[in-house]
Amino acid sequence: MKSSVDQIVEHACSEQSVSLNLSHLDITVVPMKLCKAKHLVRLQLNNNRLIMPPEEVGELAQLQELSVDHNQLTVLPSALFRLKHLTYLNISYNPLGNVSCVISIKCVSSLFTFTID
């Protein structure tokens, strides 16, 4: 039986959606099928329990906006460096160690990394 998250991702793939909201779904792992959503421009994965970086995001060549704030990420995926169109990245409210590598992603014009206690 497929989870509701898998069904949402499959629907986005079949409809060639440009935006996908998987926030507030309490997910810990991004479905592998996400890499087939090639038309995505905006992906929201915020307010979940993601621990491992979503490497699948690197397959989304058209992605411009990525929100992974309010998760449990401790590192960022190296796949971010493959996203040539990424202009907005929100990684705030994650227990990230060193985010200086993100600054070297030249196309990111809006980066949110702050945490307020």
Ordered mean pLDDT values, 10 residues apiece, the chain (117 residues):
85 96 94 92 96 84 93 86 86 78 56 48
Determine, yes or no, domain membership for 79. yes
The encoded tokens of residue 42 equal: 């905006």
Nearest to 72 by CA among 94, 92, 91: 94
CATH number for position 68: 3.80.10.10
Determine, yes or no, domain membership for 45. yes
CB 35 within 8 A of CB 55: no
Q: Count of domains in the chain?
A: 1
Determine, yes or no, domain membership for 12. yes
34 vs 13: CA distance, rounded Å: 8
Determine, yes or no, domain membership for 84. yes
Determine, yes or no, domain membership for 39. yes
pLDDT on residue 3: 83
Determine, yes or no, domain membership for 28. yes
Site of tokens 């060549």: 61
36 vs 15: CA distance, rounded Å: 11
pLDDT on residue 115: 46
Determine, yes or no, domain membership for 117. no
Residues 6+ apart with CB under 8 A from 114: 92
pTM, rounded to two decimals? 0.84
Domain span holding position 42: 4-112
Determine, yes or no, domain membership for 93. yes
